[in-house]
Amino acid sequence: MSPHTLILSLLVTLATIQGNYAVEYTVTNTAGSTAGGARFSAEIGEDYSLQTLSAATDFIWRLFQQPNAEDRKNVQKVSLFIDDMDGVAYASNNEIHVSARYIGGYSGDLKREYTGVIYHEMTHIWQWNGNGQAPGGLIEGIADFVRLKANYAPSHWVQPGQGDRWDQGYDVTARFLDYCNDLRNGFVAELNKKMKDGYSDQFFVDLLGKSVDQLWSDYKAKYAK
């Protein structure tokens, strides 16, 4: 094989890999003139954001056990915006919007907090939602479960066993899902896979042999003081 042919072959292989796995990421700071937007540029930046978006995607694919493109949502591009808005962040239509006001006012380890937020929001890009039938608390709980497993859980989260109901959402549900995942390694990945076309509480019975309410009772009992 000539050097030219070898190079051409490598380029074709690279193109194939890129075609199967590559996701395009963009970062736009629309709030650069605000205090939070300026802090983003100074302490986080676009390069770190691009690296984090890519790392979060790779982590989610591994956690969801989706090594092949056909296992995943067909998302070609994810756009991140730093906006002058209230709240923390949200994901919609393959876009992630993060609040510059939140960035500007955060008093802890900003880069770690920001990274955790990105992992949470990127989960919303990739997770299945049962065609809109799954409880909102479960969807948010899975996103925080990913953040938990990536070791970006903030210190203010509830402790294991706390909370009022399994689908309360966010950290409460994330802790419960972590318990369920300990009962069956890969549970959350399998649950997400089942939620591709719809949702039923029966999924918990199918995967763990108990109703979600019984699992919640067991979980609460485990951590009861």
**Is 8 part of any domain?**
no
Q: Are residues 135 and 122 in the same domain?
A: no
Strand partners for 26: 79
pLDDT in tens, the chain (225 residues): 555 555 555 554 444 344 446 899 999 999 999 999 999 999 999 999 999 999 999 999 999 999 999 999 999 999 999 999 999 999 999 999 999 999 999 999 999 999 999 999 999 999 999 999 999 999 999 999 999 999 999 999 999 999 999 999 999 999 999 999 999 999 999 999 999 999 999 999 999 999 999 999 999 999 986
What tokens does 168 get? 């309360």
- The predicted pLDDT at position 173 comes to 98
User: For the chain, what percentages of helix, strand and coil (3-state, to nearest 5) are there?
Assistant: 60, 10, 30
Distance, in Å, from the CA atom of 80 to the CA atom of 95, rounded to the nearest integer, reads 6
Q: Which of 126, 156, 179 is the endpoint of a domain?
A: 126
Complete DSSP assignment for 140-154: HHHHHHHHHHTT---
Residue 4 has what pLDDT? 55
Whether residue 219 is found in the same domain as residue 205: yes
Tell whether 109 and 156 lie within a shared domain: no
Same domain, 117 and 28: yes
Tokens of 15: 């193109």
Domain extent at residue 196? 131-224
Q: Is residue 16 part of a domain?
A: no
What is the pLDDT, as a whole number, of residue 17?
A: 43
Instruction: Say how far apart CA 15 and CA 101 lie, in whole Å.
Output: 40
pLDDT at site 21 = 65
Compute the distance between CA of residue 137 and CA of residue 64 in angstroms, rounded to an integer. 18
Q: Are residues 34 and 50 in the same domain?
A: yes
| DSSP state letters, 76-132 | -EEEEEEES-SSSEEEETTEEEEEHHHHHH--S-HHHHHHHHHHHHHHHHHS--GGG
Domain boundary (126, 143, 178) is at 126
The verdict on 60 and 140 lying in the same domain is no
Q: Do 122 and 136 belong together in one domain?
A: no
CA distance 82 to 112: 16
When divided into structural domains, the chain yields a total of 2
Residues 220, 163: Cα–Cα separation, whole Å: 9
Give, in order, the Cα–Cα distances in Å from 102 to each of 27, 45, 98, 120.
Answer: 17, 15, 8, 16
In a domain, 109, yes or no: yes
* pLDDT at residue 18, rounded to an integer: 41
| Two tokens, residue 162 | 């706390």
Same domain, 111 and 29: yes
Confidence at residue 56, expressed as pLDDT on a 0 to 100 scale = 98
Tokens of 170: 């966010």
Same domain for 144 and 109: no
Q: Answer yes or no: is 170 within a domain.
A: yes
29: enclosing H helix or E strand: strand 24-29
